[in-house]
Structure 1
Amino acid sequence: MVLEDTDVEWTYQGITYRRTLREGYEFRPGAWLLVALFLAMIFHPLALWQASALHDYLYDEMEEDPKNAVPRVVADAAMLADDTDPYWLKTAAWGFVRLVGWAPWIGGT
């Protein structure tokens, strides 16, 4: 759960995107991402939490307001948004959401 309003920005193909994750927003990482988050907690506490929350927010945004949502490729790039996340971990998480994210994107999360 997001504990306070959090401004997040990320870049995809040279364009910077911004969103504010509102206090109280609950995100739901998938099963594989939970494994990645567990590994991150061992090696890098709190890695992927901000990126995961942003990614889920963008998928929820697609479901709730598709006309104003970013394209899926931009939403998935959010997994790479946090410069403090280990490169290996955020790259693996990004690859996973690119591989399986089409199903929730099309069918709603």
Structure 2
Amino acid sequence: MNLIQAMMSLVLVSAGHTPATTEGDVDPFFVPEVENTQEGIILNVESHGCTKKQDFRVRVGHNESLIVERLRKDRCRETPQLIELRYSHEELGLSKPPVREQRIAGK
């Protein structure tokens, strides 16, 4: 059985050019670290204590590119740290793990 290899790129989606965001706006300066595992995708994101998985929209776009949007900024005041957010391939609508090529798109 042949595995189909899919190219995956990280696409940063921004809404507007202002750094201030409110609930429902996309954070244009959000840049996650992405790990591709056999079980799914792991996003390593900065948290100030209030970051939740629900603060993100993760989906597979055209050509199986990974689109990650941070919908709400973490406005808590704890010391920043990286946290892991895990998404299974099933959550992303993928039947097999893709081969990831990380690319950052311009504004």
Instruction: Tell me, yes or no, whether TM beats 0.5.
Output: no
**TM-score calculated relative to the size of structure 1:** 0.28
Larger helix proportion, structure 1 or 2? 1
Whose strand fraction is larger, Structure 1's or Structure 2's?
2
Tell which has more relative contact order, 1 or 2 (C-alpha 8 A, sep 6+): 2
The TM-score with structure 2 as length reference comes to 0.28
Max radius of gyration: which structure? 2
